[in-house]
Amino acid sequence: MWVEKYRPAKLSEMVNQADAVSRLSALLKKPQDMPHLLFTGPPGSGKTTMASAVTAEILGQYWRDFSLELNASDERGIDTIRQRIKVFASHTDRRVEVPFRVVLLDEADNMTHDAQTALRRIMEEFSAGTRFILTANYASSIIEPIQSRCAIFRFSRFSKEDVVNHLGSVCRKEKTRYTEGALALVYELSGGDLRQALNQLQAAASIGPVDEQNVKRIFVSAKRGSVKEMVQHAVRGDFQKAREMLAELLFVYGVSETDLLKYINEDASEAKGVDQAELAKVMAEYDYRLIQGAHPEIQLTALLAELGVFGRKAERA
Ligand SMILES: Nc1ncnc2c1ncn2[C@@H]1O[C@H](COP(=O)(O)OP(=O)(O)OP(=O)(O)O)[C@@H](O)[C@H]1O
Ligand SMILES: [Mg+2]
Task: Choose the CATH number for 224-316 among 1.20.272.10, 1.10.260.40, 3.40.980.10, 1.10.10.10.
Answer: 1.20.272.10
Going across the sheet that includes 67-70, the strands are 67-70, 101-105, 130-136, 36-40, 150-154
Which pLDDT band, with edges at 50, 70 and 90, does 151 fall under? very high
Measured from the Cβ of residue 94, the count of other Cβ atoms closer than 10 Å reads 8
- What's the helix, strand, coil split of the chain in %, to 5? 65, 10, 25
Nearest CA to ligand 1 atom 9: 46
2-154 folds as Rossmann fold (3.40.50)
Measured from the Cβ of residue 35, the count of other Cβ atoms closer than 10 Å reads 13
**Same fold for the pair 2-154 and 224-316:** no
Mean pLDDT along residues 144-172? 94
Class of domain 161-222: mainly alpha
22-31, 54-63, 170-179, 182-191: which has the highest mean pLDDT?
170-179
Whether the pLDDT of residue 279 is over 90: the answer is yes
Output the 3-class SS for 118-160.
HHHHHHHHCCCCEEEEEEECCHHHCCHHHHCCEEEEECCCCCH
Share of the chain above pLDDT 90, in %: 59
Question: Using the 8-state DSSP alphabet, how is residue 256 labeled?
Answer: -
For strand 36-40 and strand 67-70, is the pairing parallel, antiparallel, or unpaired?
Answer: unpaired
* Spatial separation of the C-alpha atoms in residues 115 and 111, rounded to whole Å: 6
* Spatial separation of the C-alpha atoms in residues 254 and 239, rounded to whole Å: 21
Which is the closest atom of ligand 1 to the Cα of 41? Answer: 21
Reported as a single tens digit per residue, the pLDDT across 167-183 is 999 999 999 999 999 99
Ligand 2 centroid vs 49 CA: distance in angstroms?
A: 7
**pLDDT recorded at residue 267:** 92
Whether the pLDDT of residue 129 is over 80: the answer is yes
Share of the chain above pLDDT 70, in %: 97
Ligand 1 centroid vs 6 CA: distance in angstroms?
A: 10
Ligand 2 centroid vs 238 CA: distance in angstroms?
A: 33
276, 269 Cβ separation under 8 angstroms: yes
Which pLDDT band, with edges at 50, 70 and 90, does 302 fall under? very high
Whether the pLDDT of residue 311 is over 90: the answer is no
pTM score > 0.85 for this model?
Answer: no
Reported as a single tens digit per residue, the pLDDT across 75-101 is 667 788 888 888 887 776 665 678 889
- To test the pocket of ligand 1, the residue of 11, 19, 48 to mutate (highest count of ligand atoms within 8 Å of its CB) is 48
Lowest mean pLDDT among 7-21, 65-79, 176-190, 279-293: 65-79
Spell out the domain ranges in the chain.
Answer: 2-154, 161-222, 224-316
